[in-house]
Amino acid sequence: MNLVYYDLNMDIELEEERLNFLVIENPVKLEDFVLSIHSAKQKITEDVSIFEKFEKINFAKQVDILFSPMSISYHTKEIQKKLLEYVLEKVQDSYLAEDFIDISGSLVSLCSKIYLELEYDIEYLDYVEVEDILKLMDIRLKEEEGRFVERLIDYSKTMFELLHKNIFILVGCSGFLTKIDFEYLRQHQFSQKILFLFVESHQIDLESPKKQTIIDIDLCEI
């Protein structure tokens, strides 16, 4: 894959075998780039694009952007919607569907009993959908625990499987990782066929193989 940033006429190849680093030493241009990837994620602008074999991918759908350990969270509408669809499909394709029919019947029966105790006429559903029961139970993914590297590995795996996100841009996150952590991420990246791109303001000294592109203070690519 290739990441293209039009403002700097930058076209860098992203590799699976090595960790990818983009170092922008100019503070103004670093800020511009970070704002550009955020805008692309929000479908506001297209100052940054990613191509796979000359075909532009859907940046908003396939890319995730992390700024710190606090960015790793499953409490988003996108994740909740997809999780509900996943659980609903599992239920409908299994013996559990009959259990939900029984639950629906029990709820309707309960409403009938409530009706008999009231002085007013009320209306209620004669059937409760499985989706509504699941929403009532507030089913959600459990937040990851452990160190940043552990959470990042589990999070990226889940996001790839659930939402098909395969490119993770980490802005200023190198300070939370040890040299051994980077090697774990490189191995995970290769085995899962995903991509990590670290965006930093300075070069990172690593023992693990890395693909590093540097834009110096004078905006020259090294």
Mean pLDDT for 77-90 is 94
The whole-angstrom separation of Cα 12 and Cα 4 is: 7
DSSP bridge partners of 167: 63, 195
**Inter-CA distances, 90 with 77, 86, 131, Å:** 20, 6, 12
Q: What is the pLDDT of residue 207?
A: 82
Q: What is the pLDDT of residue 11?
A: 96
Whether the pLDDT of residue 49 is over 90: the answer is: yes
- Reported confidence tier of residue 199, pLDDT bands at 50, 70, 90: very high
Mean pLDDT for 153-179 is 97
What DSSP string describes 106-165? HHHHHHHHHHHT-SS-----S---HHHHHHHTT--PPPP-SSHHHHHHHHHHHHHHHH--
Helix axes 148-163, 77-92, angle to 10 degrees: 60
Whether the pLDDT of residue 197 is over 90: the answer is: yes
Contacts for 157 with CB less than 8 Å, ≥ 6 apart? 188, 192
DSSP bridge partners of 171: 199
Question: What tokens were used for 9?
Answer: 């006429």
Q: How far is the first Cα of the chain from the last one, in angstroms, to the nearest whole number?
A: 20
The whole-angstrom separation of Cα 139 and Cα 145 is: 18
Mean pLDDT for 44-65 is 95
Question: What tokens were used for 139?
Answer: 């089913």
DSSP bridge partners of 2: 13, 51
Question: What tokens were used for 192?
Answer: 């899962």
CATH 3.40.50.11940 positions along the chain are 2-74+142-215
Question: What is the three-class DSSP state of 51?
Answer: strand
Q: What is the pLDDT of residues 1-45, one digit of tens each?
A: 999 999 999 999 999 999 999 999 999 999 999 999 999 999 999
Whether the pLDDT of residue 81 is over 90: the answer is: yes
Identify the architecture of domain 2-74+142-215 in CATH: 3-Layer(aba) Sandwich (3.40)
Write down the residue that tokens 């890319």 correspond to: 63
**Higher local confidence (pLDDT), 190 or 221:** 190
Whether the pLDDT of residue 144 is over 90: the answer is: no
Report the percentage of the chain scoring pLDDT > 70.
100
Whether the pLDDT of residue 160 is over 90: the answer is: yes
The whole-angstrom separation of Cα 110 and Cα 159 is: 39
**Residue among 176, 2, 190 nearest 72 (CA):** 176
Whether the pLDDT of residue 222 is over 90: the answer is: no
Whether the pLDDT of residue 208 is over 90: the answer is: no
User: Whole-model pTM?
Assistant: 0.89
Whether the pLDDT of residue 209 is over 90: the answer is: no
Whether the pLDDT of residue 150 is over 90: the answer is: yes
Q: What is the pLDDT of residue 142?
A: 93
